[in-house]
Amino acid sequence: MDLGLAGKRVIVTGASKGIGRAIAASMLGEGARLAICARNEGVLTATASELGELGEVHARPTDMAVAGEPAAFVDWAADQLGGVDIVVSNVSALATPDYQALLDIDIVGAQSLVDAGLSHMDDHSDANAIYIASRAASNGWPAIAGYAAMKAATVSLAKSLALKVARRGIRVNAVSPGDTKFPGGSWEQVEQEHPKYFASVMRENPLGRMARPEEIADVVTFVASPRASFVTGANILVDGGATRGLQL
């Protein structure tokens, strides 16, 4: 299926590894042109070199927690690409107990990024923004209460912003991954250090496994494409059925 993304100018944050990297690769596979960022310059440079074999990639180190950096990255990306069509906000302070860090990155940094992206988007041009949230937003998680709360706020932001920019013909959605395992990721560390707990989490998923980054990325790429032109204000769970509650 041709998703109609050839030549689209796409920003993907947190793209040096895991889900962000997989999203970048998926977009490149559809012929999109990319600008990517991450905090670790060395890892980002290596990733950009590898992804560059798939298509056009521009990379710049960026810290979403630093005021002004998300918007500066978007402005730089727009210069490199000649504009912006799609922004994928894949940012998170992860399961830290530091609420201020969560707020600064998951909400303030992400919103600064998306707002800057919207300022470069043309109306009625298949432009859209996607927030990467989490299935944690749809459940109670005492051990990671701050993270869950911020991801719930992320979903709410996507819904509100979708209504705000609909008149411009711009779509906004959230994609909420379930537990996702990849080399160098947190679940790989849990598997190594707490194998019994890791096994229990695996058993709880109806499909009996964790997601691969590519499985999240393919959904994000579809939602970003003109093939999903009537999808906006949605929170799309990609969690193997792990979220038991209904979204009504």
Question: 62-94: per-residue pLDDT in tens?
Answer: 999 999 999 999 999 999 999 999 999 999 877
Residue 31 in this model has a pLDDT that exceeds 70: yes
Residue 1 in this model has a pLDDT that exceeds 80: no
Lowest-confidence range among 182-196, 208-222, 231-245? 182-196
pLDDT band at 199 (very low <50, low <70, confident <90, very high): confident
Whole-number average pLDDT of the chain: 93
Total structural domains in the chain? 1
For residues 221-247, average pLDDT: 93
Q: What is the CATH number of the domain that holds 138?
A: 3.40.50.720
For residues 24-30, average pLDDT: 98
184-201 in b/e burial notation, b at 16+ Cβ within 10 A?
ebebeeebeeeeeebeeb
Entry pTM: 0.95
pLDDT band at 149 (very low <50, low <70, confident <90, very high): very high
Question: 172-191: per-residue pLDDT in tens?
Answer: 999 999 999 888 888 888 87
Q: Is 198 contained in some domain?
A: no
Residue 248 in this model has a pLDDT that exceeds 70: no
Q: Is 203 contained in some domain?
A: no
Q: Which two tokens stand for residue 223?
A: 């939602």
Phi-psi map region of 66: left, alpha, beta (phi>0 left; psi -120 to 50 alpha)? beta
Look at residue 204 in the predicted model and tell me its pLDDT: 85
Q: Is 164 contained in some domain?
A: yes
More confident residue, 101 or 36: 36
245, exposed or middle or buried, with CB in 10 Å at 0-12, 13-18, 19+? exposed
Q: What is the DSSP letter of 67?
A: T
Q: Which two tokens stand for residue 105?
A: 């990155």
What contacts 100, CB < 8 A, 6 or more positions away? none
> Residue 65 in 3-state DSSP?
coil
Q: Is 185 contained in some domain?
A: no
Question: What proportion of the chain, given as a percentage, has pLDDT over 90?
Answer: 77
Q: Cα–Cα distance between 96 and 73 in angstroms, integer?
A: 25
pLDDT band at 127 (very low <50, low <70, confident <90, very high): very high
Task: Please name every residue paired with 131 in a beta bridge, in sequence order, or none if there are none.
Answer: 89, 174
- Which amino acid type is present at position 173? N
Q: Is 49 contained in some domain?
A: yes
Q: Is 248 contained in some domain?
A: no
Closest CA to 45 of 34, 59, 55: 59
226 is in which domain, residue-wise? Answer: 9-180+213-237
